[in-house]
Structure 1
Amino acid sequence: MSRDIFIVSNSVDELGGVSSWSHRMAGLLTGRGHRVQLIGITPAVLHQDFGDDLPYGMTTLYAEHPAPAWAPKLPWQRLDARARRREAERAAGVRAAAERMSAMFRAAGPGAVVIVTQVWAMEWVARADLKGLQVIGMSHESFETCKASSRFGRVKRHYADVDRLVVLTDEDADAWIREGMNSTCGIPNPLPFDVRPAAAEPAERVVVSIGRLAQEKGYDLLLEAWATAVDRRPGWRLRIFGLGEEEAALKAQCTALGLDESVEFAGRTDDVPGALAGAAMFALSSRGEGFPLSLMEAMACGVPCVAFDCAPGVHEIIRDGEDGLLAPTGNTSVLAQRLGRLMDDQELREAMGERARQAIGRYSPEHVTARWEELFALLES
């Protein structure tokens, strides 16, 4: 059955995993005959270019980020006429944005679905006219990461009445169900691109990492581990792709650790397979994740991964000791040991990389898209 499918996010053009997932799923669902529209609440701060010739629609509701709601703390502050006027303008903007969504939703045909990828976006969707629509909320992070954040209460509050809450693993779904979110299920991310053939040339002595240079990605921990791993292993390099607010601090840390000769900050890349070409291994040092696309990308290129076991999605993707190596989250000594083990053993790297290439096929786009379509049919029945 062909459906109208709306995928609503904080931003549709943001540099990061949620936007990449949204565009990937929009392309896959469009390819299956569905009519897909991506809706973003605000423009991205860190912009990612997904191209202009897209086979699906893309809309952003605000031209710039809206002001936060006014919350006077003292009684006399409620008399501030200027603040009250600004709050009235903000509230009118929220209503106008919700009405724009409502107009799109009302034009949808039978069986239409709204997928809300982030809970902040749900605050706008909840104000729209959802009559006749199935609404699916999502959390793209692990249960434990969400529970440790301010988003936890908002997920429970704003997703309480959705038709289904979708998370990225069955393990996380079980955790949400224990919290009373009984309509939760797990559906993994699809592979972001087809599995690549084995490289003809042997890998270079390069460890690659790709991600935002942000605190939650743990690049400070990776640099600590690298300082130990690269010691007495001359000729190895760590190449970090990404941009973010932590860039200056990380470069300063790199210099303080004496790593400038072995660490390269390569900036942003739009060519992930190209960035991974020739890499001996991939490192993920995040403090928290959902279902990391970067691990899937590396494995699809036949690159073995070393990662902190920071989420169920990580140990679902990597089978420790078979197609990659895991370390306890935040333990830089063990991470360094795992890196060193692969750095010292080319045969092991090649064997794990080939097993990774074969194993990651279980997240084929066909399989994952079929699971989404099965969910749509179930909710409509």
Structure 2
Amino acid sequence: MNDASTADRSMDRTPPGGHPMSTARPRRVFFVSTDGDSMGGSQRVLHTLAQGLAERGHEVTLVSINPSRQPQSYVAAPAYRHVTLYGAPAPETPARRLPFPRRAGRPRRSPDEVAAAKRKLAGLAEEVTGGYMVVASPWAAHWISDVPMPHLAMIGQYHQTYEDAAGTPHLRLIRKHYAHYDKALFLCEEYAAAFTRHRLANCGVMPNPVGVFPDEPAPLRAPRIVSAGRLVRSKRIDLLIDAFAAAAPSAAEPWELRIVGDGPVRAALEEQARATGLGDRIVFRGQVADVEAEYLGASVVTLTSDAESWGLVLAEGAACGLPAVACDVSAGVRALVADGDNGLLVGPGDARGFAAALERLMSDGELRRKMGARSRERMRGYLLPRVLDRWEALFDEIDR
């Protein structure tokens, strides 16, 4: 599967406190997203990539079109430049009826605001004579489409599946804009193949990096299950609470469920947790500064989402040596968790099956240790140095 030896050799070039030194020539790289500072896995990936490439000697600018209403700090000492095009969040407006669905409360901007923001992006691009513009979403691609940047190579990213895009504006925008880019990147081979079958000829694969890989894995001694992510309905933390409540009484030890993250359904989830009668064994941690410590203090990582194209929590948990229980909702999840090898996969929405999988791992310490070791080894191919190597190889490919 992953060439672990190559990843290890790449890591040998790491300077103290930094990422592996690059043998590639320095490049100028722009990352553009609609909102690069909100809480979310894709935002964390953007900042991780920008920092990694900058520490390798590349000149990197992360461009957020919109400022976040609740900005997050992902890198303590950024080595890259971060620019926001609009000066303030736009006022929210009610949803309107359009030929395609518009998210409720989508911000609206005046023509003068839009023009000024686009001039700012054009000015950033004019500062360089060449480089690469990595566009992080179809909406970002649509927004920048009338900004003249012919001297930059264009790379589009899509972090979801073809099925997620079908029937939504995403597919139309990908076909309209990404088809003319130098490369369109997807998270795994299955996703790239699906878009290729549907008339997108320039598809490639670029996995998300796992930004954590501690020197020592989790000891797997604490009877603790961890979940991490934004608390929204699609993450199905309600299913996780039900499954844990069903599995916990049969465990020999007093297992604890830790839920890391925040979001609009937190209050409802806390009420559900209280109703289980498990008291303080279901703990809501909220947003934490050191998510790696949460993984290292746990023995099982979980994902219960109805839809998840990748699953950053699975990658980070695996890098810390945790076995996983996850809903089998995509090829991306299966790339991170092989059923019976480094974790257990359950049908989407199957609370009873999820409880049984939890109970199996909770009751078998040796199985947890074997699967945890395989998880960590599996993640070596997704380490940041390895993914940065792939980005540099892609730049070389485009230059040829």
Q: In the TM superposition, what is the alpha-carbon distance from 1:259 to its structure 2 partner?
A: 4.1
Out of 334, 339, 364, the position equivalent to 2:383 is 364
Secondary structure at the aligned position of 1:258 is classed as coil
Q: Report the CA distance shift for 1:151/1:254 in structure 2 as closer, same or farther (over 3 A).
A: farther
In 1, Cα distance between equivalents of 2:279 and 2:169: 37
Contact 1:12 1:58 in 2 (8 A): no
Q: Report the CA distance shift for 1:215/1:25 in structure 2 as closer, same or farther (over 3 A).
A: same
Contact 2:47 2:75 in 1 (8 A): no
Out of 198, 204, 228, the position equivalent to 2:246 is 228
Match of 1:59 in 2: 83
Number of residue pairs matched? 367
1:290-329 superposed matches below 5 A: 290-329=309-348
Contact 1:205 1:237 in 2 (8 A): yes
Q: Report the CA distance shift for 1:210/1:122 in structure 2 as closer, same or farther (over 3 A).
A: same
In 2, Cα distance between equivalents of 1:209 and 1:321: 20
CA-to-aligned-CA distance 1:60-110 (integer Å, 9 cap, x gap):
111233368999989xxxxxxxxxxxx8x7122112111111111111133
CA-to-aligned-CA distance 1:240-299 (integer Å, 9 cap, x gap):
000111111212222334344431111111211111123111111111222222111111
Does residue 176 (structure 1) correspond to residue 195 (structure 2)? The answer is yes
Q: Report the CA distance shift for 1:51/1:273 in structure 2 as closer, same or farther (over 3 A).
A: closer
1:324-363 superposed matches below 5 A: 324-363=343-382
Match of 2:306 in 1: 287
In 1, Cα distance between equivalents of 2:193 and 2:133: 23
CA-to-aligned-CA distance 1:85-140 (integer Å, 9 cap, x gap):
xx8x7122112111111111111133x00001122222222121111111111111
In 1, Cα distance between equivalents of 2:40 and 2:207: 17
In 2, Cα distance between equivalents of 1:148 and 1:305: 32
Contact 2:132 2:152 in 1 (8 A): yes
Secondary structure at the aligned position of 1:231 is classed as helix
Contact 1:97 1:124 in 2 (8 A): no
Match of 2:31 in 1: 7
Out of 235, 258, 268, the position equivalent to 1:217 is 235
Matched AA of 1:249: A
Secondary structure at the aligned position of 1:362 is classed as helix
Contact 2:69 2:89 in 1 (8 A): no
Contact 1:196 1:300 in 2 (8 A): no
Q: Which moved more, 1:253-262 or 1:348-357?
A: 253-262
In 2, Cα distance between equivalents of 1:129 and 1:150: 23
Match of 1:31 in 2: 55
Matched AA of 1:365: L
In 2, Cα distance between equivalents of 1:264 and 1:149: 37
Q: CA RMSD in A?
A: 2.4
In 2, Cα distance between equivalents of 1:274 and 1:167: 30
Contact 1:145 1:289 in 2 (8 A): no
Q: In the TM superposition, what is the alpha-carbon distance from 1:182 to its structure 2 partner?
A: 1.6
In 2, Cα distance between equivalents of 1:362 and 1:346: 26
The two structures have a TM-score, normalised by structure 2, of 0.85
In 2, Cα distance between equivalents of 1:72 and 1:310: 31
Match of 2:297 in 1: 278
Match of 2:210 in 1: 191
Match of 2:147 in 1: 128
Q: Report the CA distance shift for 1:322/1:71 in structure 2 as closer, same or farther (over 3 A).
A: closer
Out of 11, 18, 24, the position equivalent to 2:42 is 18
In 2, Cα distance between equivalents of 1:72 and 1:191: 39
Runs of 4+, deviation exceeding 4 Å: 67-74
In 1, Cα distance between equivalents of 2:45 and 2:376: 20
In 1, Cα distance between equivalents of 2:55 and 2:283: 39
Matched AA of 1:97: A
Match of 1:207 in 2: 225
Contact 2:230 2:263 in 1 (8 A): yes
In 2, Cα distance between equivalents of 1:336 and 1:253: 16
Contact 2:327 2:346 in 1 (8 A): yes
**Any unmatched runs of 5+ in structure 1?**
75-86
Match of 1:104 in 2: 124
Secondary structure at the aligned position of 1:39 is classed as strand
Secondary structure at the aligned position of 1:220 is classed as helix
Q: Report the CA distance shift for 1:71/1:316 in structure 2 as closer, same or farther (over 3 A).
A: closer
Contact 1:243 1:267 in 2 (8 A): yes
Matched AA of 1:92: D
In 2, Cα distance between equivalents of 1:302 and 1:73: 48
Identity of aligned residues (%): 33
Contact 1:227 1:257 in 2 (8 A): yes
